[in-house]
Structure 1
């Protein structure tokens, strides 16, 4: 899980991106290079080494490294630098795309094709980088490696302040700037349109670019963005500690064993309970809660009570696939309410209730189940992503100064998560020291709502997010968008639009209409280059049949109306997709984007001025 790629979001709609004529007098037929590919190895650029330039079928592949150095701050004195790859098509059509990273980065996509998978083939120049550090000594950017299993593992790079900056924001700016210098030399023309697109940490990269480097990109696509990753890290620790109270055994590191706390059949029960409360709120029972703002605790709690063993109407056998224990129900309530400190002050966000808490076997994806409970049933080993990828990031990257721990063992990264103190450790996401002059919120968070510079230079931003993907709260990105809209005088839609996707797992997958990357990219290029703003994005589902059972715990109408092998519209927030009352339920044309009447406040919301500092009462 080092990189969380777009997975299933690239499956549908990619061919729809197309190659449009570029403005500003750029030749419609494109331009050919004015120099040979191999000649690029002799190009002199600031603080940059071109390590290789190889002609491939249809394009030139360039590998390089920016600001290569030996760290004096890292006790291991590892070598660091921003490794990058740039693909230059034989016929270029004026566009450049920077691909965002993923996870904690640390590996270079040495042959970048584009975040939607088609851009290079359509004549775009495409770049990617490694986030300023490398996890594999056999990499293509110099053979250096900066992992230390006894000191942070793959997050060891965070012991170096410059490596933290490179990972947080500097790598994107440096790679895009150097790439465009190479493009200008290679073709003899400057880039006409510049884009960035990424998911997860790559979505954070994209939002960061719009806020910190508003001049770099004309168009930005941010998918499932970890725009406030340090705060989301607090929720990772909170969730695992809550689940840990249900554990009846320990793992190989002596920590609570989580997989048994919510077996798959129990998550299926939870999904059925949430659907029973909220599926019909959008006017169609189909396994998708489009009216997620209306799916409040006041509606969900009574449904959970009906599905509680012994006191509800769905059986008495714990883990039998029909009911949840009282402890499980209480745990879900605490998790979905979000982390707080001992004074009840909020530290991150609440979460929307969403049926994607369960991942049906025919609709795989990195959703709530994989982040919080288990990724693979390995006896005695916690494999939830929060306790693998997250357990390295929480002490090393999100704490300042970094808390250097071994990866495994009784005092390892897992132990840090389970012993995390929400009174004394949580504030350290804001801490600065002489050795680390930027807190994790400084170098990682993309939470600014002042996008005036980006808007002023004509930039366009599309954000797409799961309603609840298990790692980043959909309620958090919706709240940020509302705050930004207010900051921008209620005119956010002039340059920025948010699209929410129910049931979708992290960066794609799940029982959702999760395939839309190509259509999303076309929507952005049309907006940037033609001035056509998207009012909806059509998304597809790739399941041949409904991933939900046709009966049992689930309303039989779900299997009947689920959009298997079909499409649905993603609507501009806060609008939602609503069935028109006739037509196929797997046809986007049968749905309209309507205003559900949401207004901030209520038991599902809290003050929109939340910043994660614990100022708001739970």
Structure 2
């Protein structure tokens, strides 16, 4: 029997049982903290921060884990190594490798993590999620990829951790190893969170007062995974543009979209299609302008943003040329491709295989093209649907892997079944109750850009509506989970959008002050050529930002959150 058939959905043990199953080496620092030991005792307090950092590598006592530590003195580094801005205070950077091993493919594996421990710890712990195929350690001096408006959490005093998800390198070739697949699905995040909390207890003499998770894309999926498999690990979770059905839905859509666009793309001299030229930038601007003409003013003002999402009923047929393709219209083939892509993939029986995409002006932004069409001027495409999603499909999402697979030959009747085995342990859309997470008081924020070309905002809206139906309705569900849509935003950031906001502070206020986010303040960065310096309120779904009828259109104070 192939070892890939051993992949099974894992039902996590109850929270209390999981704690009992923790290795003694991991629980010891917590016991020491409870008894006043560790770095909380008098002798430990006499150590300099640099000395306390150095001794972690030997004092931590984590089983099957190697650690290296580096102390970064105060005022010597800025977040992300930036050349300007405020310096960070002193902090200890711990780099760890859990369960190093040799895989069945002969490659070396370990669950790598980076944990930054500030001298001025504020009692908070933040896990920042990854994305793509992972394989790298995210810089823990930076913020989450869905909360770029948050000043460096490390600089604020958070202890911050990231993980490479159990493998190194950003390709999906690790899919040849069954354990690496499980690590990428859930195991690496569990092990990293437990190790980080143990190291925090060792360093400071107590466990965190509050624990938070924030991530986007794959990181959003990781946040949802924690809320389902390990519901007692975090007090609040931000799941941005969550890849909740990436291995059974969004990747199918990426193949569908690529096939539709490739079929209408012009050919080179040898007859091969040039994917990026299926639509020119001018063509996409035509579509964006038509969407605005149809839907923009439904929120009370024509300002370039489609806030009233549910009122938008756009049909690209209005752009179809009466004759030959011209600068002010689209060919019938282009209109047909757009209709097919925005409706979503289906099998031959007409069954929907993933959500379609909402019509939003952000489809003319560079971030949308990067995923769907790319910019290659040759028949070798560079769209992320090809460079990233096909890599994940053939190496990881298919069970067993199929490295010779041609994405343009994807069979929408039979190939989705080849993705179900991994979907059962990887995808997070099925649990639409979150019973344990809700019961222990957890808070959940979903954030999604309306012009995300890979994970549809419609899928997140559908999940949230199912969650509400299972938890007493929308009002009751908003006591522990809220969804915020960002008009114009591409995947996690970018586009004609107010995509700069502090969702981490929103979590902190909700958990520690009991202040639920009725709005999240958002702005466009000065470098945003679409709408520099604009501010807007992000509203909890199903509300949207509506113009009051008076006031500066560029200012958030001129808008109010309403539901219609």
With the shorter chain as reference, the TM-score category is 0.7 to 0.9
Among candidates 533, 556, 559, match of residue 588 of structure 1: 556
C-alpha contact (below 8 Å) 1:86/1:112 kept by paired residues: no
1:108-130 CA distance string (max 9 Å, x none) = 22554332451101111000010
For 1:335, what is the secondary structure of its paired residue? Answer: helix
Counterpart of 1:41?
57
Q: Which residue of 2 aligns with 1:420?
A: 410
Distance 1:82 1:377, change over 3 A: same
Q: Is the 8 A contact 2:135 2:168 kept in 1?
A: yes
Alignment check: 8 A CA contact 2:362 2:496 kept = yes
* Aligned counterparts of 2:336 and 2:318: Cα–Cα separation in 1: 14
Residue 545 of structure 1 deviates from its aligned partner by 8.0
Distance 1:250-1:160 versus aligned 2 partners, 3 A rule:
farther
Per-residue displacement from partner, 1:239-298 (whole Å, max 9, x unpaired)?
00011110232699x9632111111111111111211211122221111111111112xx
Task: Confirm or deny: 8 A CA contact 2:245 2:423 kept in the other structure.
Answer: no
Residue 471 (1) aligns with residue 487 (2): no
**1:69 matches 2:101:** yes
Structure 1 runs (4+) greater than 6 angstroms displaced: 30-33
Aligned match of 1:80: 109
Q: How many residues are paired up?
A: 496
- Structure 1 vs Structure 2 CA RMSD: 2.2
Q: Note the alpha carbon deviations across 1:389-428, whole angstroms, 9 max, x for none.
A: 11101222221122124xxxxxxx6xx2111111110122
Question: Does the 8 A contact of 1:400 with 1:440 survive in 2?
Answer: no
SS at match of 1:194: strand
| Cross-structure match for 1:539 | 522
For residues 528 and 469 of structure 2, what CA distance do their matches in structure 1 show? 42
For residues 221 and 429 of structure 2, what CA distance do their matches in structure 1 show? 7
2-side partners of 1:255 and 1:163: how far apart? 37
Question: Shift in Å at residue 544 of structure 1?
Answer: 6.7
Q: Is contact 1:80–1:133 with CA below 8 Å preserved after alignment?
A: yes
**Do the aligned partners of 1:107 and 1:134 also contact (CA within 8 Å) in 2?**
yes
Which consecutive unaligned segments of at least 5 residues does structure 1 have?
Answer: 1-24, 137-153, 406-412, 432-438, 548-562, 597-618
Q: For structure 2, list consecutive stretches of 5 or more residues without a partner in the other structure.
A: 1-33, 75-89, 145-149
Q: Which residue of 2 aligns with 1:306?
A: 318
Q: TM-score, length-normalised on structure 1?
A: 0.77
- 479-488 vs 163-172, which deviates more? 163-172
Structure-1 residue corresponding to 2:371: 371
In the alignment, the residues of structure 2 paired with residue 112 and residue 545 of structure 1 have an alpha-carbon distance, to the nearest angstrom, of 24
- Aligned: 1:501 with 2:518: no
Q: What is the CA-CA distance between 1:323 and the residue it aligns to?
A: 1.2
Asked if 1 retains the 8 angstrom alpha-carbon contact of 2:111 and 2:163, the reply is yes
User: 1:54 Cα deviation (Å)?
Assistant: 3.5
Is 1:451 matched up with 2:408? Answer: no
Residues 66 and 307 of structure 1: CA distance in aligned 2, closer, same or farther (over 3 Å): same
> Is 1:526 aligned to residue 509 of structure 2?
yes
Which has a greater percent of helix? 2
1:340-355 matches, cutoff 5 A? 340-355=346-361
Structure-2 change in CA distance of 1:113 and 1:45 (3 Å) = same
Superposed CA deviations along residues 124-170 of structure 1, whole A, max 9, x for unmatched, are 1000010110018xxxxxxxxxxxxxxxxx11101111111111111
Which of 502, 505, 514 aligns to 2:499? It is: 514
Counterpart secondary structure, 2:212:
strand
Please name the residue that 2:30 is paired with: none
Distance in 2 (alpha carbons) for counterparts of 1:212 and 1:251: 53
Residue in structure 1 matched with residue 547 of structure 2 by the alignment: 579
Q: Which has the higher contact order (CA 8 A, sep 6+)?
A: 1
Aligned to 2:77: none
* C-alpha distance in 1 between matches for 2:139 and 2:152: 16
Could you tell me which residue of structure 2 aligns to residue 179 of structure 1? Answer: 196
What is the alpha-carbon distance in structure 2 between the residues aligned to residue 97 and residue 53 of structure 1? 19
Could you tell me which residue of structure 2 aligns to residue 385 of structure 1?
Answer: 384
Q: Normalising to structure 2: TM-score of the pair?
A: 0.84
Structure 1 CA distance, aligned partners of 2:529 and 2:294? Answer: 20
Q: 1:31 to 1:565 in 2, by over 3 A?
A: farther
